Chains A and B, each alone.
Chain A
Amino acid sequence: MTQAETMPGELPDDAQPILSVRDLQAHFRTDRFGVKRDVKAVDGVSFAVRRGEIYGLAGESSSGKTTLVRTIAGAVKPPLDVVGGRVDFAFLPGYGGLRRAPAAEVARIRWRHLSYIMQGSMNVLNPVRRLRSAFVDFAYPHIGESRKQFEQDVVAHLARLKLDPSVLAAYPHELSGGMRQRATIALATICRPDVILADEPTTALDVVVQKEVLAMISGIRREIGSSVVLVSHDLGVHAQVTDRLGIMYAGRLIEEAATVEIFRNPLHPYTRHLISSLPRIGDDVPRKGLEGAPPNLADPPPGCRFHPRCPLAMEICRHKVPATLETAPGHRIACFAVNRSEAA
């Protein structure tokens, strides 16, 4: 395997990552009626996803989570632009991202190896065609078999996800929101991809359906061994299914650890705030809100982006960007207040 050189050496695990992202920078650049804007939506994010794990990405809205997965998925269209960094997949070695790979290679790996559940899946299905045609368009070219065999496979896959085969003959508007989301997940997993990028798959669903969908995702990981990158603003979702969790703030990954560790021992002041604001049974202490608002990413504060709101802010936080350091095995964090040695 030649990927050994291309993989970051600082990875905490000996398992070969299926996906690794290094120093990724993606900006929204606009120039309309003379107003130039450069929104640094993703600004130097690095992380790796192991085979068969569910990696969670959390953070409030406009923290850059969606832009990050869009960039990984290669959904980069103006005004979004990848400014720097690389994205490496084990199944697409050497190019540093879909954007740089030849079109034929990209077409080969899409859906077969990498699939994507887009945010707002209410609108991701073609409204004027039946669901069957989506399965045919998306998956059939990747599966070298007869149409009849393919149809049987699809029905079997739907049955595995407890979906009735009749959904294939339905138009999207004929399905409920939950059904549509489950059909979308079936569509994204039919080719047994290595990596599934799932962006807010449970948002806008009611709690019962949410639970079903999450169970579906864990079930798929168990059965076909895919790795999942799960984006959600809802920490409750992460607590239920993810193995490891990265916390994003203002376009940067500020803390990453095993999900259990994050909940038990959050280190970054922002993560600590997020965890402490979760409701707990029997606890009636009023929750403290965080002062201020997330920064404007067109003109972010210098240094650590969290410093204007941080209770532990020091002088150095105002002008130096904290590096992401591993404080305990598998627990990475970007904060001067935690990594005292760096600040000194």
Chain B
Amino acid sequence: MSGYFAYVVRRLAQFVLVVFIGINIAYVITHATPIDPVEQSISVVTSFGNTAPDAIEKMRTSLRELYGLGGSPVEQYLAFWKRILRADFGPSMSAFPTPVSTLIGRALPWTAGLLAVSTIVAWGLGSLLGGLAGYYQESRGLKLIGVIAIGVHPIPYYILALVLLIVFGFLWPVLPITGGAAMNLPQAPTFDFIVSVMQHAVLPALSLILIGVGSWFLGMRALVSHVVTEDYVVYAELAGVRPWRVLSSYVMRNALPPQLTGLAMSLGGIFNGAVITEKVFGYPGVGSLLVDAVYAGDYGLVLGVTTVSILGVSTGVLVIDLLYPLLDPRVKVT
């Protein structure tokens, strides 16, 4: 048990490091560039209409205070961290005076739900099919899936989402193509609302799943085709262990740990995909929030979403890391 404890401590330390470095990158980008983010925001906001000069002046002072742009660099840096730790990104400029944290809090469940479901489905299905394809290398059906996977998985999320949008929005309009739920329904756990949420999630989830299945399929197939040559698999086959048992407990079981590590390492990339997919389908998650915040010049919101996504993805990775020893008993000793 102490082995597992040491492992957990190591993973937690890594988690803190990831969040720390990630947020510092955000800080460096916003503070070390020659551009003043406050002036930048104001120029974007004012370009949309006539704002009175004294209102601009007020906005400028409040922004400077909010982001701690006054004082020495050290003071600025500490003020920045103080805000991050209190999850206080000030009021949103595009939805004034709603706090940024409220906007993010509202959007987060949508993204979390979409990402969790589509990632688990894609990873599970892709790993299962890929495992079968690596084991039954002569199967025609699985070979065909392999060819399709090679064709689908390198397509950028945006392009696939667009294709689905065209197919199900214009050519064969059977599914809602925008929003997270029907507008006329109250956001309450009623049957109609839940059905509507699920309907609206089909296309965004499908674009994430199609690409995901493709890459997990290829990854697992490659892993399994290595595992089947391992001595312990050959030995089990020679011992007359039943084929399905060899496939499940020997082959797949040993390919799963690296496949799970792969999942942890791609969470960031999957999140990137979700951002763009949400935007294409107008899904009310943090991805859409981020993109709209850039268009609206809402500095606080962009910074807030960036911070929250670094935190969210790192948490996802941490959860996977903590589950990993369940699959691989060897980590406890190393």
Contact = CB atoms under 8 A, between A and B. Distances in A.
A contacts B: CB pair < 8 Å? yes
A116 interface: yes
B245 interface: yes
A75 B230 contact: no
A133 B236 CA distance: 11
B235 A171 contact: no
Interface stretch (A36-44, A49-57, A124-132, A154-162): A124-132
Contacts of A118: 231, 234-235, 238
A126 B329 contact: no
Nearest to A172: B232
The number of chain A residues touching the other chain, given as a range, is 20 to 34
A266 to B, nearest CB: 34
Interface stretch (A103-111, A238-246, A254-262, A301-309): A103-111
Contact of A173 (B238, B245, B333): B333
A74 B238 contact: yes
A120 interface: yes
**Which of A74, A116, A137, A141 counts the most B-chain CB atoms under 10 A from its CB?**
A137
Given A123-B232, A126-B232, A116 B238 contact: yes
A330 to B, nearest CB: 31
B245 A137 contact: yes
Nearest to B230: A123
Interface in B202-240: 230-232, 234-240
Contacts of A141: 240, 242
Contact of B253 (A116, A126, A173): A126
Interface residues of B, number: 23
A110 B230 CA distance: 20
B75 interface: no
Given A107-B240, A138-B241, A129 B253 contact: yes
A127 B232 contact: yes
B89 interface: no
B288 interface: no
A126 B232 CA distance: 5
Contacts of A106: 240
Contacts, number: 67
A127 B155 CA distance: 36
Contacts of A124: 231-232, 235
Contacts of B253: 126, 128-129
A126 B330 contact: no
A73 interface: yes
A137 B249 contact: yes
Contact of B238 (A110, A120, A129, A133): A110
A141 B328 CA distance: 26
A176 to B, nearest CB: 13
A124 B231 CA distance: 5
Contacts of B309: none
A171 B327 CA distance: 13
A115 interface: yes
A106 B254 CA distance: 26
A287 to B, nearest CB: 35
A123 B239 contact: no
Contacts of B327: 128
Contacts of B231: 118, 120, 123-124
Given A111-B240, A137-B241, A129 B234 contact: no
Given A137-B249, A171-B329, A173-B330, A125 B242 contact: no
Contacts of A128: 253-254, 257, 327-330
Residue picked from A73, A74, A120, A127, most chain B C-beta under 10 Å: A127
Nearest to A107: B240
A127 B330 contact: yes
B283 interface: no
B281 interface: no
Contacts of B330: 127-128, 171, 173
A312 B238 CA distance: 42
B305 to A, nearest CB: 39
A171 B253 CA distance: 14
A139 to B, nearest CB: 8
B57 to A, nearest CB: 65
Contacts of A111: 239-240
Contacts of A77: 234
Nearest to A123: B231
A141 B241 CA distance: 9
A208 B329 CA distance: 30
Contacts of A107: 240, 242
A137 B236 contact: yes
B238 to A, nearest CB: 5
Contacts of B245: 137
A75 B238 contact: yes
Contacts of A129: 249, 253
Nearest to B233: A126
A188 to B, nearest CB: 8
Interface string B25-54: 000000000000000000000000000000
Nearest to A75: B238
B250 interface: yes
B178 to A, nearest CB: 45
The winner among A73, A77, A126, A173 for most chain B CB atoms within 10 A is A126
Contacts of B234: 75, 77, 118
Interface of A: 73-75, 77, 106-107, 110-111, 115-116, 118, 120, 123-129, 133, 137-138, 141, 171, 173-174
Given A123-B232, A141-B242, 7 more contacts: A74-B238, A107-B242, A110-B239, A115-B239, A120-B231, A126-B253, A127-B232
29 contacts: A73-B238, A77-B234, A106-B240, A107-B240, A110-B240, A111-B239, A111-B240, A115-B239, A118-B231, A118-B234, A118-B235, A118-B238, A120-B231, A123-B232, A124-B231, A125-B232, A125-B235, A127-B232, A128-B253, A128-B254, A128-B327, A128-B330, A133-B249, A137-B236, A137-B239, A137-B241, A141-B242, A171-B329, A173-B333
